[in-house]
Structure 1
Amino acid sequence: MPRRRSQFRPCIDLHHGKVKQIVGGTLCDEPGQGEKSLSLRTNFVAEHPSAYYAELYKQHDLRGGHIIKLGPGNDAAAKEAIAAWPNGMHVGGGIDATNAKAWIDQGAEKVIVTSYLFPNCTFSMARLLELERVVGKERLVVDISCRRRENGWVVAMNRWQDLTDMVLSKESLDTVSAHCSELLIHAADVEGLCQGIDEELVQKLGEWATIPATYAGGARHIEDLELIDRLSNGSVDLTFGSALDIFGGTGVTLASLVARRDRAP
């Protein structure tokens, strides 16, 4: 049997109801007009609605992609994308035990959870078990996006601004993986910069992950997918965002990624 190869996983990032590509570390709360508003550096703002991208992914049978709601005001756009490809994509952003099943009922293949698992920035096994009970292990993806620190990587939440008590390790991945079907890992420090992936992180994910894992952050050309494949021995998939032509990028085309997928190993 041929060795599994790392694959491209699509994405739709939503901010204020529009499809955008952002510089991940700049998404934060700041005071304004008596309320908090999201402030960020944006690489791309789409003219097309979210459903356009979901239909494009459906056309090419690109499965397992993620729809991420970056803050409030994105539910309608997320539902439009899901309706365009029922059971074809995962949805994340504000997912908790009270709304997870509703998103599955709307047509999301899986739900992605992050901040809900870390009340007061502390990992809660009870919350993970509750979500597993509500939607089932096979419908649950845990986002353990992280920031690099001196001794490794620390899981970050609240749009990657707050560090939690979870350090990335074989043990922490095993703990989470026992109760979900996939992992999603944004390398927040390089997200949206198109300056290259965090190679050491990818290599560690290849060694530690025992369930499907998708890495996002810094990918700039199709050779990065081959690098991910080599570093992880084919066990980690890759999301292209700002570098992708459909999001205004020049580093890699959707057509080339589809062609790679369709070529025999």
Structure 2
Amino acid sequence: MTMHPRRSLFRPCIDLHDGQVKQIVGGTLTDDEQILETNFVASESPAQFAQLYRKHGLQGGHLIKLGPGNDDAATDALKAWPGGLQIGGSINEKNALAWLDRGASKVIVTSYLFPEGKLSLERLRSISSLVGKDRLVVDVSCRRRGDSWLIAINKWQDVTDTEVCKETLDVLSEHCSEFLVHAADVEGLCLGIDEALVSKLGEWVQIPTTYAGGAKDSSDLDLVERLSGGRVDLTYGSSLDIFGGQLVRLEDLVRRNHSAQAAPEL
């Protein structure tokens, strides 16, 4: 039997804003609704998207609450697929266990780890101990600054001084089981992925990692696989047909996932 290296997979997402599934241009997500740029607002409920992902066996997807007013919709989606979705958005020590009890497979933390914009290893250790390393995902969404990427928090508007690099990821991975990385500068633009970032993630990460931002063609999944050596998975947003896009079909990604998962890993 021929063994193959790990293949990069498509990971689904549900972005919630005001209780609806939306695709938003990442850089416009602020408290000022007047500058918000939205590519798509779904007529289907978040629960219907969860059911769709469940039907196709699309594991490891993330459900992100973008701001207030999303708890009921998020709860409905988790009920539609218990144990099938990770949840992020204002997750902290006070609510993490409740979201796991509502059916989330894992909780995703970002801003909570950066009180006053500084990474708190104390908070990281504490929430990891609370929920368990295997049920914690750290979101290291970032903005590019020169040749580096700095973690961005609070709807990606506040750039911290913590760099996304091997040293940072090694420290974080001691306390979590996955990384989620939104490239905020290209999120929602459908202009292509940040190839340099994906390549570096492939060099740096030692745990499962999902990249999001800019994917515009089904072949981007093969590109991510090549650049990262299969160590990074990919999320599609605004380019995907279920989100009103014209560039990528869900059925093609599902077929690609099934093919990749059928091949034994090295």
TM-score scaled to structure 1, two decimals? 0.96
Match of 2:23 among 5, 17, 21: 21
- Counting matched residue pairs gives 259
Q: What SS does the aligned partner of 1:81 have?
A: helix
Q: What residue is the counterpart of 2:119 in the other structure?
A: 123
Whether 1:242 aligns to 2:257 is no
Cα pair distance change 1:173/1:38, threshold 3 Å: farther
For residues 261 and 189 of structure 1, what CA distance do their matches in structure 2 show?
27
For 1:195-234, what aligned pairs fall within 5 Å after superposition? 195-234=191-230
What is the RMSD computed on CA atoms of the aligned residues?
Answer: 0.9
For residues 35 and 106 of structure 2, what CA distance do their matches in structure 1 show?
28
**Identical positions, percent:** 62
Q: What residue is the counterpart of 1:34 in the other structure?
A: none
Match of 1:181 among 161, 177, 180: 177
Match of 2:151 among 144, 155, 179: 155
Q: What residue is the counterpart of 2:160 in the other structure?
A: 164
- Deviation of 1:48 after TM superposition, in Å, equals 0.5
Match of 2:250 among 250, 254, 260: 254
- Deviation of 1:40 after TM superposition, in Å, equals 1.3
Contact 1:38/1:71 (8 A) holds in 2 = no
Match of 2:99 among 99, 103, 109: 103
- Deviation of 1:165 after TM superposition, in Å, equals 2.0
- Deviation of 1:134 after TM superposition, in Å, equals 1.0
Could you tell me which amino acid in structure 1 is paired with residue 165 of structure 2? S
- Deviation of 1:46 after TM superposition, in Å, equals 0.3
Q: What residue is the counterpart of 1:7 in the other structure?
A: 9
Deviations along 1:86-132, one digit per CA (max 9) or x if unpaired, are 00000000000000000001100000001000001100001001111
Q: What SS does the aligned partner of 1:229 have?
A: helix
Match of 2:130 among 125, 131, 134: 134
- Deviation of 1:38 after TM superposition, in Å, equals 7.6
Could you tell me which amino acid in structure 1 is paired with residue 68 of structure 2? P
Q: What SS does the aligned partner of 2:31 have?
A: strand
Contact 1:95/1:111 (8 A) holds in 2 = yes
For residues 40 and 20 of structure 1, what CA distance do their matches in structure 2 show?
11
- Deviation of 1:151 after TM superposition, in Å, equals 3.2
Deviations along 1:147-185, one digit per CA (max 9) or x if unpaired, are 000131000000000011211110000010110000000
TM-score scaled to structure 2, two decimals? 0.96
Could you tell me which amino acid in structure 2 is paired with residue 10 of structure 1? P
For residues 42 and 112 of structure 2, what CA distance do their matches in structure 1 show?
29
Q: What residue is the counterpart of 1:82 in the other structure?
A: 78
Whether 1:91 aligns to 2:87 is yes
- Deviation of 1:246 after TM superposition, in Å, equals 0.4
For structure 1, the 5+ residue unaligned runs are 31-36
For residues 220 and 256 of structure 2, what CA distance do their matches in structure 1 show?
13
For residues 89 and 164 of structure 2, what CA distance do their matches in structure 1 show?
21
For residues 59 and 164 of structure 1, what CA distance do their matches in structure 2 show?
39
For residues 38 and 85 of structure 1, what CA distance do their matches in structure 2 show?
34
Match of 2:64 among 45, 61, 68: 68
